[in-house]
Chain A
C-alpha cells in the first residue's frame, strides 16, 4: 500500500517549457487535490477533484490545468512555466467527507 505517489520528486524547467506532474493513489479515494507551497508559506489549493469526472478551481488556479484521468490518478499541467511557479507541489487524496486526507511527499519544481 503506497498511499499517494507523486512523480517526479524534483524537476527543473526553463521558462516557457511545459510539464505534467503526476499523482496516483491506491486507497480508492474519491477526492484528490493539488497544492503549492512557497518558502515559509502555508499550502494553497490549486485545483481539486471531488470525484472522478469532476474538477474545480481552488485559490490559485491560474497557469495550471488538471485532469482526473480515473479514480486513481490526478495530474497537474503547467502549459508554459514561469519563475513564479517555482514551488513545492503536493497532491492529496480524501476518501469521503469527514475523513482524513493523505498527502504525497511533494514535487520540488524550479523554473529558471
Chain B
C-alpha cells in the first residue's frame, strides 16, 4: 500500500473550514484514499473514502487531485467536537498485504473557540 504523509498538527477556528492535506505521491491506480479520525483515545471512526472523484457526505468532503498524488479532507464548519487526530490511509482492494489497514501518525487537529 502507498505511504502517506500528513502534517503532525493543525489549528482551525471554530466555524471555519478545516482543510487537512495528505500526500500520497506513490499511489497506484487502484488504490483508494480513506480518512478516519480518533477523538481523545476512542476507537477511530471512519469519515470518507474515494478513488479519483471528489466525494462528500454528511461529515466531510474529500478532494483528490487529478494526478491522485494528494488529497484534502475538508470539514466545512469545524466545531470544537472536531478536535481529533485525523488519519489518511491509502490501500488497494487486492493489495499484497492482504487486507491490512496501516495507520500512520495522522494530523492532530485543534479547533479553537
Contacts and interface: CB of A to CB of B under 8 A. Distances in A.
A98 B93 contact: yes
**Most A CB atoms within 10 A — which of B34, B41, B43, B46?**
B43
Given A42-B103, A98-B49, A105 B43 contact: yes
Contacts of A88: 41
Interface string A80-95: 0000000010101010
A106 B41 contact: yes
Interface residues of B, number: 23
A50 B99 contact: yes
Given A41-B105, A50-B99, A94-B99, A100 B43 contact: no
Contacts, number: 63
B104 A42 contact: yes
Contacts of B102: 45, 58-59
Contacts of A58: 100, 102
A80 to B, nearest CB: 26
A85 B87 CA distance: 23
Interface of B: 32, 34, 36, 41-46, 49, 85, 87, 93-94, 98-106
Interface of A: 4, 31, 33, 35, 37, 41-45, 48, 50, 56, 58-59, 88, 90, 92, 94, 97-98, 100-106
21 contacts: A31-B99, A42-B103, A43-B44, A45-B100, A48-B98, A48-B99, A56-B98, A56-B100, A59-B102, A88-B41, A92-B43, A92-B101, A94-B99, A94-B101, A97-B94, A98-B93, A100-B46, A101-B36, A101-B101, A103-B43, A106-B41
